[in-house]
Chain A
Amino acid sequence: MADLKETPSQTAGPYVHIGLATEAAGFSAFAPYGANIAGPDAAGEQIRVEGVILDGEGAPMTDALLEIWQADAQGRYSDTQDDTGNNTGFTGFGRAVPDFETGQFAFDTIKPGATDGAPCLHLWLVARGINLGLHTRMYFDDEPDANATDPVLNALDPARRPTLIATRNGNAYRFDIRVQGDNETVFFDV
């Protein structure tokens, strides 16, 4: 049994970048974490992810912050002791800040390997108006066989599955997040 209760969440507010992505706020204090998920030497296919985060009226959320957490190309997380294979320059963690005017975000990484299901990125979204950070997942539309057997995707209402699947377009994947309304993205309690 738990002896203590979890500290309640509070919104990150509109100025989250000061603490978590300082240079986006407009100044520099120390080298921020999250600028590099997988460096150029990390094993795996280099990919780019682009998208926009939309509110219930379809307006871009220009003051949000997105965190990325993922496995390497062999399906391993960076905090595990496993020296097989090459994951040089791989942290598995990153932060993406939407453009303050357009709301477009983009980040570069490598495509993760499979762990306990189809390959996916784990995303965590905070912003003004979000009281508790939102966990979601991004799957890949060019992994149809793996997606078809993924236990998490399969547990969802089929109509909602496409909200978690990014669309490949050239060298980039498009992944828009709809926080509320039509085609609302699936969010998880993990």
Chain B
Amino acid sequence: MSTHAARDLSRHPAALTPRYRSSILRSPTQALIRLPDGPADRHGPTFGHGSIGALDHDLIQNYTHGGAPVGERVIVHGRVLDEAARPVPNTLVEVWQANASGRYRHKKDTYMGSMDPNFGGCGRTLTDEDGYYRFDTIKPGAYPWPNGGNNWRPAHIHFSIFGAAFCQRLITQLYFEGDPLIPLCDILQTVPHPSDIDMLVAKLDMETTVPFDSVAYRFDIVLRGARSTPFENRKEGN
């Protein structure tokens, strides 16, 4: 008996997507072996509020070295839901991104874009009881990348989400509504269905936009599956 429906793999990028060249040598040739979910899949790591700092979700402030980072101030926010549209509370959401110049704070990134001494580019938070999360950050810049042509990544923020069970583990990317690089991106366009690509595009949200401060974008995330029974033996608040 399975508490999670099988993942609909047809809606994720295939392992081998030649237009994204890095997948050519990094895609298994054998099909994934389907398993009914066992204890490891129904359980998942938990992360307590006590280990999250007050500014961990605020990328404008969490790496400041005496000043504010350069770039457009934005809020990205939304809810984490399951496929039955139920909120996923108290789950860890981690993000990472380039700075406004399209440069990552990573020892392997050598792009000519400027480093920003006040911007680290990582954040994390736990969803609340309604599955809601929010990050305050700087809109990342586009940047070029090697994929055989004149390739540019649209502005994007990487998202990592745990969910309530390890089989819900997901990493994806948020893009920004209206970005003209979206249709040209060989990574985003690995998503098979155009309507699903739209799920990765955060929408301008004037209701949450703070006048004279930050533009908001809404980005809801749906994790696979739905638990058939409440999970009664989780540690409370953990």
B84 touches A130 (CB 8 A): no
Considering the complex, which residues of chain A in the window 7-33 have a beta carbon less than 8 Å from any beta carbon of chain B? 7-20, 22, 25-27, 29-31, 33
State whether A5 and B34 are in contact (beta carbons under 8 Å apart), knowing that A12-B158, A19-B158, A129-B26 are contacts in the complex: no
Interchain CA distance A122-B13 in the complex, whole Å: 23
State whether A189 and B83 are in contact (beta carbons under 8 Å apart), knowing that A2-B226, A10-B173, A129-B23 are contacts in the complex: no
Contact of A115 among B39, B47, B81 (CB under 8 A): B39
Nearest B residue to A25, CB-CB: B106
Interchain CA distance A122-B84 in the complex, whole Å: 26
Interchain CA distance A9-B71 in the complex, whole Å: 27
B35 touches A8 (CB 8 A): no
B229 in the interface, Cβ–Cβ < 8 Å? no
B106 touches A133 (CB 8 A): no
B122 touches A56 (CB 8 A): no
Contacting residues, chain A, for B208 (C-beta < 8 A) = none
Contacting residues, chain A, for B112 (C-beta < 8 A) = none
Query: Count the B residues whose beta carbon is within 8 Å of the partner chain — how many?
Result: 87
Contact of A33 among B47, B158, B172 (CB under 8 A): B47
B177 in the interface, Cβ–Cβ < 8 Å? no
B155 in the interface, Cβ–Cβ < 8 Å? no
A148 in the interface, Cβ–Cβ < 8 Å? no
State whether A10 and B172 are in contact (beta carbons under 8 Å apart), knowing that A4-B81, A18-B105, A189-B6 are contacts in the complex: yes
Contacting residues, chain B, for A29 (C-beta < 8 A) = 56, 62-63, 120, 122
Contacting residues, chain A, for B25 (C-beta < 8 A) = 55-57, 59, 129, 180
The number of inter-chain residue pairs (CB within 8 angstroms) is 252
A40 in the interface, Cβ–Cβ < 8 Å? no
A180 touches B171 (CB 8 A): no
Nearest B residue to A91, CB-CB: B45
Give the size range of A's interface with the partner.
35 or more
What 1/0 flags go to A26-63 for Cβ under 8 Å of B? 11011101000000000000000000000111010101
Can you show 15 pairs from A to B with CB atoms below 8 A apart?
Answer: A2-B83, A4-B81, A4-B83, A9-B172, A11-B22, A15-B108, A15-B158, A80-B43, A115-B39, A117-B38, A129-B23, A131-B23, A134-B28, A179-B27, A180-B27
Interchain residue pairs A-B with the least CB separation, the first 7: A19-B96, A129-B22, A129-B26, A93-B45, A2-B83, A26-B107, A131-B13
Besides the known contacts A4-B222, A6-B11, 15 further A-B residue pairs in the complex with CB atoms under 8 A apart: A2-B5, A7-B172, A7-B221, A10-B187, A11-B173, A12-B160, A18-B96, A18-B104, A22-B122, A29-B62, A33-B47, A81-B234, A180-B25, A190-B37, A190-B166
